[in-house]
């Protein structure tokens, strides 16, 4: 386990659990106490991301699942703090976020050339792969770049043998140095939106990488044994957002903040006026929860690379989100999600030995029992372009294997109650503060 890997979200479950469960219990109190009253969209879901329910249901989450060996048993034991799953189904309403539709820009080649130049390639030395990809190669430092013409997502790679030769002669940066180098590379590319706040604590994780003789990657046991450091950028999105220009916002914001911690703040323009928004967020996770959709591989300095000499590989998939959530939706209860997982309807996304290799390719295992310790809410982002960023339940704990060893597991289950999705509802907006009233609130 690496130094900053302790920040990896699967190891942050305890912190996230405290925030999320705290948030839901606060919502119970808010919804039942009458004062402070939350914004109407959190009292009654507005289903506002599409005009009709059919449009939204076309985008039900489908999450791929890992295979286990045929002799595995689907036995679950619940050992949460309370010994049971809290049923909050009547009170759980959460934001859903909409992705900006990505179409091929007219100046696609120009933008791709900009990416190539930033990464150290001769921008005019480009090859086309049909109409779908732009490709660059640099024989001097064994690097290649493939940019998707439509999305401008890309992957930059370096020959593994070349990396191993460089690593024999030059020292690897520290993990903190690798993080700084990865941030610098992303800043230079200048293609991320504000939804990636990689300066926020916990939104960056690292893994030490060992290059195997067959050029595949595995996890190195220590920095001295590593040849690369993979830096993963994560993002978070608001589950609940409170604007400071609605009546009683001060009470709502202070109540939430004093109970579950400080929110993040942002300013948006609404009706030509600047409005401060307080966001209570959770993490975004991916089909493989040990990595992210943006990974930068940092290695020893390469004298043959005049630009970004420590960057050997970048896996860049970015789907930009609209600034504000598109609507609110009701969730199924955690107990319902657990039942579905026990019935074999969940998606097993992580299964590994304790302190096992989180980099090498997954191999099916024989499971005797799953012991559930945590049930959390997160948002799920697939590798292909989605329409909406939707919430999931993350059901995690310890796995007991048939050979007597123990490991860790994570199941994902879609959290939206698709059975009750309705057409878009017009819900009366929260009353606004009087013009003479102050609109800014300190925390």
pLDDT over 90 for what percent of the chain?
60
Q: How many CA atoms lie within 13 A of 219 on its CB side?
A: 17
Q: What's the sign of the alpha-carbon dihedral 182, 184, 189, 194?
A: positive
pLDDT of residue 391: 95
CA distance 226 to 231: 13
* Helix orientation angle between 108-118 and 175-189, rounded to the nearest 10 degrees: 150
pLDDT value at residue 376: 87
Higher pLDDT among residues 243 and 132, named by residue: 132
Identify the H or E element spanning 350.
Answer: strand 347-353
Give the Cα separation of 9 and 12 in Å (integer).
5
Q: Which residue has the higher pLDDT, 287 or 438?
A: 287
User: In which band, very low, low, confident or very high, does the pLDDT at 213 lie, cut at 50, 70 and 90?
Assistant: very high
Dihedrals phi, psi of 346, to nearest 5 degrees: -85, 170
Distance of CA 26 to the CA centre of its chain: 24
Average confidence (pLDDT) over 133-140: 96
**Beta-carbon-side half-sphere exposure of residue 239 (alpha carbons within 13 Å):** 29
- The answer to whether 325 touches 238, Cβ cutoff 8 Å, is yes
Least trusted range by pLDDT, from 189-198, 402-411, 419-428 = 189-198
Q: What are phi and psi of 30, to 5 degrees?
A: -60, -45
CA distance 279 to 267: 11
Q: Where are the beta strands (DSSP E) in 272-333?
A: 273-285, 294-298, 311-316, 327-330
| pLDDT at 34 exceeding the cut of 90 | no
Contact (CB, 8 A) for 59 and 387: yes
pLDDT band at 201 (very low <50, low <70, confident <90, very high): low
Mean pLDDT of 164-174: 94
Instruction: Outline where 204-333 has alpha helix (H).
Output: 249-260
Q: What CA–CA distances, in Å, run from 406 to 6, 149, 179, 366, 409?
A: 19, 45, 32, 11, 10
Q: What pLDDT is recorded for position 260?
A: 52
- Where residue 367 falls among pLDDT bands split at 50, 70, 90? very high
Residues 41-51 have a mean pLDDT of 91
pLDDT digits (tens, 9 = 90+) for 274-321: 888 888 788 899 999 999 999 999 999 999 999 999 999 999 999 989
Strongest mean pLDDT among 87-96, 160-169, 277-286: 160-169
Query: For position 340, what pLDDT does the model report?
Result: 95
Cα separations in angstroms, 30 against 78, 102, 376: 28, 39, 21
Give pLDDT, residue 8: 45
**Residue 356 predicted with pLDDT over 70:** yes
Cα separation values, 92 from 38, 62, 329, 396, 415, Å: 13, 21, 8, 20, 10
Q: How confident is the model at residue 97 (pLDDT cuts 50, 70, 90)?
A: very high
Asked if the model's pLDDT at residue 422 lies above 50, the reply is yes
The reported pLDDT for the residue numbered 87 is 39
pLDDT digits (tens, 9 = 90+) for 219-235: 999 999 999 999 999 88
Residue with tokens 């064994």: 142
Q: Scanning the structure block, which residue is given the tokens 């610098």?
A: 184
Listed in sequence order, the residues at least 6 apart from 140 whose beta carbon sits closer than 8 Å to its beta carbon are 304
The total number of residues shown for the chain amounts to 443
Q: Calculate what percentage of the chain has a pLDDT beyond 70.
A: 82
Burial of 49 (0-12, 13-18, 19+ CB in 10 A): buried
DSSP bridge partners of 268 = 275
pLDDT value at position 199?
Answer: 65
Q: What pLDDT is stored for residue 200 in this prediction?
A: 63
pLDDT of residue 24: 52
Rounded mean pLDDT of 136-159?
96
Handedness of CA 29, 31, 36, 42 (dihedral sign): positive
Question: Is the separation of the CB atoms in 312 and 298 below 8 Å?
Answer: yes
**Would the pLDDT of 162 be above 70?**
yes
Query: Using one digit for the tens of pLDDT, what is the confidence trace for 55-73?
Result: 999 999 999 999 999 999 9
**What is residue 79's predicted lDDT score, i.e. its pLDDT?**
84
Query: What is the pLDDT confidence band of residue 437, given thresholds at 50, 70 and 90?
Result: very low
In this prediction, residue 261 has a pLDDT band, given cuts at 50, 70 and 90, of low
Greatest Cα-to-Cα distance within the chain, rounded to the nearest angstrom: 70
Mean pLDDT to the nearest integer, 390-407: 95
SS3 label, residue 187: helix
> How confident is the prediction for the chain on average, in pLDDT?
84
Q: Are residues 247 and 258 in contact, defined by beta-carbon separation less than 8 angstroms? A: no
Q: What pLDDT, in 10s, does the model give residues 113-133?
A: 999 999 999 999 999 888 889
């Amino acid at each position: 386990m690496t130094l900053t890997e302790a920040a990896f979200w699967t190891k942050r479950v305890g912190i996230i659990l405290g925030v999320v469960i705290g948030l839901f219990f606060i919502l119970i109190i808010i919804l039942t106490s009458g004062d402070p009253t939350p914004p109407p969209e959190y009292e009654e879901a507005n289903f506002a991301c599409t005009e009709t329910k059919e449009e939204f249901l076309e985008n039900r989450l489908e999450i791929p699942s890992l295979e286990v060996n045929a002799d595995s048993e689907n036995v679950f034991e619940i050992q949460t703090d309370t010994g049971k799953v809290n049923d909050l189904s009547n009170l759980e309403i959460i934001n859903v976020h909409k992705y900006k539709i990505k179409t091929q820009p007219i100046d696609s080649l120009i933008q791709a050339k900009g990416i190539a130049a930033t990464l150290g390639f001769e921008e005019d030395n480009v090859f086309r792969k049909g109409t779908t990809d732009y490709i660059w190669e640099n024989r001097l430092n064994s690097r290649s770049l493939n940019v998707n013409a439509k999305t401008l997502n890309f992957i930059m790679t370096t020959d593994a043998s070349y990396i191993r030769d460089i690593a024999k002669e030059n020292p690897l940066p520290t993990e903190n140095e690798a993080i700084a180098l990865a941030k610098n590379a992303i800043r230079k590319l200048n293609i991320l939106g504000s939804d990636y706040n990689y300066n926020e604590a916990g939104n960056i994780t690292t893994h030490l990488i060992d290059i195997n003789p067959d050029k595949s990657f595995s996890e190195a046991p220590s920095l001295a044994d590593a040849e690369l450091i993979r830096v993963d950028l994560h993002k978070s999105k608001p589950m609940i957002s409170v604007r400071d220009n609605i009546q009683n916002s001060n009470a709502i914001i202070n109540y939430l903040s004093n109970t579950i911690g400080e929110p993040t703040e942002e300013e948006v323009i609404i009706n030509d006026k600047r409005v401060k928004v307080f966001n209570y967020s959770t993490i975004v996770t991916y089909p493989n929860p040990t990595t992210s959709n943006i990974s930068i591989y940092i290695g020893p300095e390469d004298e043959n690379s005049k630009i970004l000499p420590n960057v050997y590989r970048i896996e860049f998939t970015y789907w930009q989100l609209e600034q504000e959530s598109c609507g609110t939706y009701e969730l199924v209860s955690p107990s319902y999600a657990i039942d579905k997982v026990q019935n074999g309807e969940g998606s097993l996304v992580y299964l590994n030995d304790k302190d096992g290799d989180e980099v090498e390719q997954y191999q099916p295992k024989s499971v005797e029992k799953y012991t559930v310790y945590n049930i959390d809410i997160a948002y799920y982002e697939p590798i292909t372009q989605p329409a909406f960023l939707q919430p999931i339940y993350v059901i995690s704990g310890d796995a007991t294997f048939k050979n007597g060893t123990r490991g860790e597991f994570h199941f994902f289950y879609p959290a939206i109650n698709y059975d009750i999705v309705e057409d878009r509802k017009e819900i009366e907006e929260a009353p606004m503060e009087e013009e003479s009233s102050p609109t800014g609130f300190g925390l």
